[in-house]
Amino acid sequence: MESRVRNICSFLGLLVILLRHSVEAQANGDCPADGRTWVPFGQSCYHFVHGEEDVAKRYTIEEAKNMCRGFALLIVNTTSVNNFVVQYSPEVWKNNVNIWLGLYYDTDDDQYKWFDDSVVSFKNWVEGGSPDWDIPLMDKCVVLHSTTGKWENVSCTKDTENGVVCEAAQKPVVIGKKNGSPLLSALVILSVIAILGVSAVVWFFHQRSNSGTALLPSFEYHPPFRAPSADQTCLVEAEELEETS
Ligand SMILES: *[C@@H]1O[C@H](CO)[C@@H](O)[C@H](O)[C@H]1NC(C)=O
Ligand SMILES: *[C@@H]1O[C@H](CO)[C@@H](O)[C@H](O)[C@H]1NC(C)=O
């Protein structure tokens, strides 16, 4: 019986920890949940394509866009985003990588624009670079060197680059929101059902083993749990689990 109580307690403790962690994860802001690693920074989330996903290793800007699966290519419109990209890159890439920027050359306005059509105010051109006038304007694209953070003009179609970073807007988390996450609510409901179910089964077998063949146990003589001691075991168990997690 004791071991059963301990098992249930471990289970409850784990549930509490899981629930708490899922709440904490939400407090970090909402990044896309598409199974890939999204790093929150500022108002956005960033996915650095690397590892197994980085099959082709080199991409034209069109291929880079496809790697982002509907999300946008990296927009670097502030110094802090530029620094963030340089600082995070070594976490995923060993050497310098030329990261495609979400820029296109607007031949009507005769200037670069971000893919969301915002004007380019922050720039970080490499010193002594060239405007590369041999690249047709329509085919002008920009890469960011991951080690220096400096930008360089390249051809969108002839050059293949090895760095792809995708960007998604980070959904702000409303604290104390009335209708919380449906996932969280479902988790809570499922947990309660699971706890009730397990308790009932344990109680049933405990009663049956104690009262021999009698299927309907008597409440008077066989209280289901020694309530206070079981509660205390639970608290201790939960704390132990929390510490080791
Ligand atoms: C920079 O771009 C992001 C979208 O990537 C946008 O939300 C933000 O307002 C822009 N900031 C500036 C200073 O242009
Ligand atoms: C890249 O091209 C743009 C527009 O033609 C130009 O303003 C910029 O100076 C060039 N960058 C470098 C590093 O030469």
CB-based pocket (< 6 A), ligand 2: 125-126, 129-131, 152-153
Note whether 224 and 207 are within 8 A (CB). yes
Which pLDDT does position 3 carry in this prediction? 61
pLDDT digits (tens, 9 = 90+) for 154-195: 999 998 999 999 999 998 766 554 455 667 777 776 876 787
Question: Relative to the CA of 72, which ligand 1 atom is closest?
Answer: 5
Task: Say how many Å lie between the CA of residue 77 and the centre of ligand 1.
Answer: 6
Which pLDDT does position 141 carry in this prediction? 96
pLDDT digits (tens, 9 = 90+) for 15-60: 555 555 555 454 456 999 999 999 999 999 999 999 999 988 999 9
Residue 2 — pLDDT band, cuts 50, 70, 90?
Answer: low
Whose CA is closest to atom 4 on ligand 1? 75
Which own/partner contact pairs does 11-15 have at CB distance under 8 Å and 24+ positions apart? 11/194, 11/195, 11/198, 12/195, 12/234, 12/237, 12/238, 13/234, 13/237, 13/238, 13/239, 13/240, 13/241, 13/242, 14/241, 15/191, 15/194, 15/195
Res 237 pLDDT > 90? no
**Contacts with 83 (C-beta within 8 Å, 6 or more apart), sequence order:** 149
Question: Relative to the CA of 167, which ligand 1 atom is closest?
Answer: 5
Question: Relative to the CA of 125, which ligand 2 atom is closest?
Answer: 13
Whose CA is closest to atom 2 on ligand 2? 131
What is the overall mean pLDDT for the chain? 80
Res 228 pLDDT > 50? no
- Of 41, 46, 47, 75, the one to substitute when testing ligand 1's pocket (max ligand atoms within 8 A of C-beta) is 75
Q: Which of the four CATH numbers 3.40.640.10, 3.10.100.10, 3.30.43.10, 3.40.50.10140 does domain 30-169 have? A: 3.10.100.10
Alpha carbons 65 and 79: distance in angstroms, whole number: 23
Which pLDDT does position 35 carry in this prediction? 93
Q: What is the domain partition of the chain in residue ranges?
A: 1-28+177-216, 30-169
What is the average pLDDT across 223-242?
A: 50
Which pLDDT does position 187 carry in this prediction? 79
